[in-house]
Structure 1
Amino acid sequence: MRIPSPFRQLAALALAAAAMAPALAQQVVLKVHHFLPGTSNVHTNLIQPWCDKIARESADRLKCQIYPAMQLGGTPAQLFDQARDGVADIVWTIPTYSAGRFLKSEVFELPFFTRSAKGSSQAFWYFVQKNAMEEYAGVKPLWLHTNDGSSFHLTSAKGVKTLEELKGMKIRAATRLNSRMLAALGAAPVQMPLPAVPEAMAKGVIDGAMVPWEGVPAAKLQEIAKSHLDVPAGQPKFANSIFAFVMNKARYDSLPADLKKVIDNNSGAETSAWAGEKGFDSVVPAFHKLATDRGNQVFALSAAEMARWEKATAEIDGLWVKEVSAKGANGAALLEEARALSRQYDR
């Protein structure tokens, strides 16, 4: 019996819909949470492009729903646990906001350790993969990176050029090793996340902050600070912070193989290097110009003065080695391996 044309068309539509159903059913929406504003450099130049790329490569079967500025609740120090516990599917955070939990990873936050975000991010990725994956239990690291190295941003137009001038100043630190470094230099460290810095500086609670140039516009430091201090050109930076873009492990494991492959293709050492260069190294000149265009003074330590600062903070490496060794690891060997990786990739 010949089926009337309208019925054939309906049948064809039904078959097409049935064929599309599995693909539609497999669309995955990933909740991505971080602590910076939606206008920040990291949001617009790293997280959003990464999400756009996995959407494109998965034919829109992977989609991100990004929640900036802690919109899902909690504090920056709780972000890692939010990924581990499934509150968010993916987070971007500074793991060491949770002091003492990432002892091995924080080797890259030691003073005068890294020169560039691109190189140190590659080194950091390889170091964690070999030595510190237990610190990331419950999550899958997608990319790990450092920043471009912290500089000093001060409310005083006179600025700081010597240890004596820094002595007693209240300076924001991002992490416990940053705090330890500042104390060794004679400053009074005040540990706080970046979003708290603008108000603290504007109200005189702190005299300045250690922040990478990448973070200057996010905290409006080009407007609040009157002077800035860098290391001599080409030298290792004062300090650093480590960052992690991690995914809930169970969520990753639940994906079909082809979507896992999309995630995997946008993870690892190469993606970590991209995050360091694109999100940090490449923006330094423009963000530096934001400060100089306002008439802010930008100073650099002399080579002789930097040697004094390095000597004043030299004991911090040894303290880290003791702490890691007390937990059962070979701290000295880990420090040397991290330095070797930095020499290899961060030149």
Structure 2
Amino acid sequence: MKLPIWLFAAALSLSTTAVAAQEHKIRISQHHSSQSGVFNDVIIPVKEFIERESDGRIGVETYPNGVLHGPYDGFKALVTNVTDIAPAFPLQNASSFHLSHGWFLPGGFETSYAINQANEELYPEFTKAEYQALGIEVFLHGASAPYQLLTTKEVKSLSDIKGMKISGAGGPVNEMIAAIGGVPVTLPAAETYSAVQQGVVDGVMLPDESIVTYRMHELAKYYVPVEFGRAGDIPFGLNRATYNNLPEDLKDVIYHAGRYGSLLYADFAQRGAEVGKKTLEEHGVTFVELSEQDSATLDAAKAKLWKDFAEKNDANGYRGTEFVEAMRALSKEFGAMTHDQMTARQKEVGKLDILP
């Protein structure tokens, strides 16, 4: 059946309009699986936000599963125009960062909402230059739930951890492990499960929302609530050239998409932490209750990490003490910040100097 000429012409006109409406393309790539929470609960809603708020003028293509680059190549992929938005974690380029590592300090913030919002507000003054020195901008800020210790060997007190080989992610995470007497072992994330299963390591330090992702509920026997910091600076970076080539109104869309993404990442971490603990309970993992003495020992170890961080950065000219004081001030102000409170705060502070 042939279409009437007027209907064919109308359809052609609509098709041409739709194609013309897409003026820019943005690629979001990541090493996370297409089944992961980061992809489905953060990146997909961000993609939809950008396309909707730009009225279709920006088309977004997503590339999960490490299709465009590996987990340690996000920075390079951004500056060489392989991608436009991608994970840019300080831990994966640790020697190039200084104050940014402060977001990993233990016990700093009560919720993922609080630390993400604090990161947004302190970023322009304290850490923006570290990312820009590598040729990128930060698109959204992310933070995990606090790191906890899961072991295959029995733990009744902190003294039982001494000498245990514990898998960590390097950098500040390994400092946490050493602070409680463990022996840090840095492994690629993909090898964590087999390393625990085969006894290469006795346990793993990871955030609550990663328990199910790494299937530690299948292997761990003990959960030790050390509350030893968060992966507090795990942002997605932005290709500077891509951003600079956008007209001002679409730059505004990208800015607000990033703030929405920071909120979504906090949602993901908070929700994932609850699921992780519940899953451990369902699999019969023992939750260790630390004594008052052990808790005091942990507090002292955490305080030392804060002190050492400030002094080390001060000595190297990086405003460590000022940064620590600013973090603590916002932590006190934000308390147990919720989703709604973070949304209200975003409106209250208005547009921040996050992007150029």
Q: For the superposition of Structure 1 and Structure 2, which TM-score range results when normalised by the shorter chain?
A: 0.7 to 0.9
Matching residue of 2:325: 336
Matching residue of 1:295: 284
Matching residue of 2:118: 123
Map residues 234-245 of structure 1 onto 2, 5 A cutoff: 237-241=227-231, 242-245=233-236
Structure 1 residue 139 corresponds to structure 2 residue 110: no
Matching residue of 1:3: none
* Rounded Cα–Cα distance in structure 1 between residues aligned with 2:258 and 2:143: 15
Matching residue of 2:21: 23
Q: Say if 1:115 and 1:148, in contact at 8 Å, map to a contact too.
A: no
Give the aligned CA root-mean-square deviation in angstroms: 2.5
Instruction: State the Cα distance separating 1:27 from its structure 2 match.
Output: 4.1
For 1:240, the aligned partner's letter is R
Instruction: Single out whichever of 298-307 and 145-154 deviates more from structure 2.
Output: 298-307
* Rounded Cα–Cα distance in structure 2 between residues aligned with 1:126 and 1:341: 9
Matching residue of 1:275: 265
Instruction: State the Cα distance separating 1:251 from its structure 2 match.
Output: 0.5
Instruction: Single out whichever of 185-194 and 212-221 deviates more from structure 2.
Output: 185-194
1:96 is paired with a residue of what secondary structure?
A: helix
Matching residue of 2:238: 247
Map Cα deviations across residues 146-192 of structure 1 (whole Å, 9 max, x no partner).
11111111123x3x242211100111122311211211221101123
TM-score, normalised to structure 1's length? 0.86
Q: Say if 1:38 and 1:68, in contact at 8 Å, map to a contact too.
A: yes
* Rounded Cα–Cα distance in structure 2 between residues aligned with 1:12 and 1:217: 51
Shift of the 304–254 alpha-carbon distance from structure 1 to 2, 3 Å rule, reads same
For 2:265, the aligned partner's letter is A
* Rounded Cα–Cα distance in structure 2 between residues aligned with 1:53 and 1:13: 27
Matching residue of 1:175: 170
Q: 1:151 aligns with which of 126, 148, 153?
A: 148
Structure 2 stretches lacking a partner, 5+ long: 337-356
Structure 1 residue 106 corresponds to structure 2 residue 101: yes
1:219 is paired with a residue of what secondary structure?
A: coil
Map Cα deviations across residues 90-129 of structure 1 (whole Å, 9 max, x no partner).
1124322222222111111113323211111111221212
Instruction: State the Cα distance separating 1:69 from its structure 2 match.
Output: 3.1
2:60 is paired with a residue of what secondary structure?
A: strand
Q: 1:227 aligns with which of 215, 222, 229?
A: 222
Q: 2:312 aligns with which of 323, 328, 332?
A: 323
Instruction: State the Cα distance separating 1:210 from its structure 2 match.
Output: 0.9
Matching residue of 2:349: none
Shift of the 49–281 alpha-carbon distance from structure 1 to 2, 3 Å rule, reads same
Number of aligned residue pairs: give it: 330
* Rounded Cα–Cα distance in structure 2 between residues aligned with 1:34 and 1:8: 45
2:297 is paired with a residue of what secondary structure?
A: helix
Q: Say if 1:147 and 1:280, in contact at 8 Å, map to a contact too.
A: yes
Q: Give every structure 1 segment of 4 or more consecutive aligned residues whose post-TM-superposition deviation is greater than 4 Å.
A: 6-21
Q: 1:66 aligns with which of 39, 62, 65?
A: 62
* Rounded Cα–Cα distance in structure 1 between residues aligned with 2:54 and 2:43: 17
Larger of the two Rg values belongs to structure: 1
* Rounded Cα–Cα distance in structure 2 between residues aligned with 1:53 and 1:177: 34
Instruction: Single out whichever of 198-207 and 59-68 deviates more from structure 2.
Output: 59-68
For 2:121, the aligned partner's letter is Y
Map Cα deviations across residues 65-106 of structure 1 (whole Å, 9 max, x no partner).
2222322233x2321332233222111243222222221111
TM-score, normalised to structure 2's length? 0.84
Map Cα deviations across residues 190-242 of structure 1 (whole Å, 9 max, x no partner).
123433311221221111111111111111111121221225xxxxx312112
* Rounded Cα–Cα distance in structure 2 between residues aligned with 1:154 and 1:72: 34
* Rounded Cα–Cα distance in structure 2 between residues aligned with 1:11 and 1:145: 48
* Rounded Cα–Cα distance in structure 2 between residues aligned with 1:343 and 1:222: 34
Q: 2:180 aligns with which of 175, 178, 185?
A: 185
Q: Say if 1:151 and 1:228, in contact at 8 Å, map to a contact too.
A: yes
1:267 is paired with a residue of what secondary structure?
A: helix
Shift of the 196–13 alpha-carbon distance from structure 1 to 2, 3 Å rule, reads closer
Instruction: State the Cα distance separating 1:22 from its structure 2 match.
Output: 3.5
* Rounded Cα–Cα distance in structure 2 between residues aligned with 1:139 and 1:116: 27
1:48 is paired with a residue of what secondary structure?
A: helix
